[in-house]
Amino acid sequence: MDSSDRYFTIAQISDFHVGRVIPFPSGEVDLFNQLVRTVDCLNALDPAPDVVMVTGDLVNHGKLDDYRRVRSQLGRLLMPYYLAAGNHDQRKSLIEVFNDHSYLKTSDGFLHYSLEDKPLRIVTLDTLEPGTHFGLLCKTRLDWLERILSEQPDRPTIIFMHHPPFETGMPYPDSLGMRGKQALGEIIRRNPQVEAISSGHSHRDASLRWNGTIAYTVPSSSFSYKLEFHEVDDLDPLLEPIACRIFRWDPSVGLVSHLNYIGPYEYGITEGVPEPPSA
Ligand SMILES: [Fe+2]
Ligand SMILES: [Fe+2]
């Protein structure tokens, strides 16, 4: 078996906020152009990721036209991609523009689903609560998750969702975080097959051992917010390097997470492997 059969890689990208143009002192940044860079970056990875998971806030105002612009770029991806909803998304518009994404058309109206044909089982949750920025998993959504996980308790699984299921320690984003974390945590604790939970929303990288799994947030592929552990009234957008997360699943190793910055960046000239320092 060659290495491409052994490994399964998932790229996670998040929080495009297309439709927003941010003024910075060095000039305006149209976040649509950040999405163009992101798609170029994923298409240039070698080997290419097997799938791309998009964890919400595709657009900034829920507008149909902006979803169409997002689709024009995601459609350039060389690999399949799957969507999750964030607090800036609108379920109806999202389904309308991505109407061939049949997994989004669920019987209960929530955009949650599982992908069963991958080496690592993928479960995506819907934490969108219309009219608010915080996230919620109501009883219907928690019951759905409990049932889905109980169907295959021995199958390694990764969960994607927009809102982080944990407190990051940053008061402002945490105030817009997810309600009902404890109920989710109890389900996760009963399901040790969950290798990881990965979310977006905070626009920063963070990770935590959480209820028997590892929980991550992925930076935005558009813009970040300052690492701010103080109470603040608002956060200004920050133009740090944008990034995605690459999960590499190898059953003999486990699930390795890599933070990958989205370029382009310049290469230098290697000096070769230096001699180790003498004792
Ligand atoms: Fe966001
Ligand atoms: Fe968000």
* Distance between Cα 16 and ligand 1 center (Å): 7
**Domain span including residue 137:** 7-261
* Distance between Cα 116 and ligand 2 center (Å): 27
* Distance between Cα 224 and ligand 1 center (Å): 9
Q: Residue 93, CB half-sphere, CA atoms under 13 Å: how many?
A: 21
Q: Is residue 275 part of a domain?
A: no
| Residue-wise pLDDT tens digits, 205-256 | 999 999 999 999 999 999 999 999 999 988 899 999 999 999 999 999 999 9
pTM for the whole thing?
A: 0.96
> Which ligand is nearest to the Cα of residue 58, counting in written order?
1
Q: Is residue 31 part of a domain?
A: yes
What residue type is 260 in one-letter code?
Answer: N
* Distance between Cα 127 and ligand 1 center (Å): 13
Q: Is residue 272 part of a domain?
A: no
Indicate which CATH number applies to the domain containing 180: 3.60.21.10
Q: Is residue 228 part of a domain?
A: yes
> Which ligand is nearest to the Cα of residue 59, counting in written order?
1
| Residue-wise pLDDT tens digits, 80-136 | 999 999 999 999 999 999 999 999 999 999 999 999 999 999 999 999 999 999 999
Q: Which residues contact 10 (CB under 8 A, 6 or more apart)?
A: 49, 50, 51, 52, 53, 120, 122, 158, 246, 247, 249
> Which ligand is nearest to the Cα of residue 134, counting in written order?
2
pLDDT band at 6 (very low <50, low <70, confident <90, very high): confident
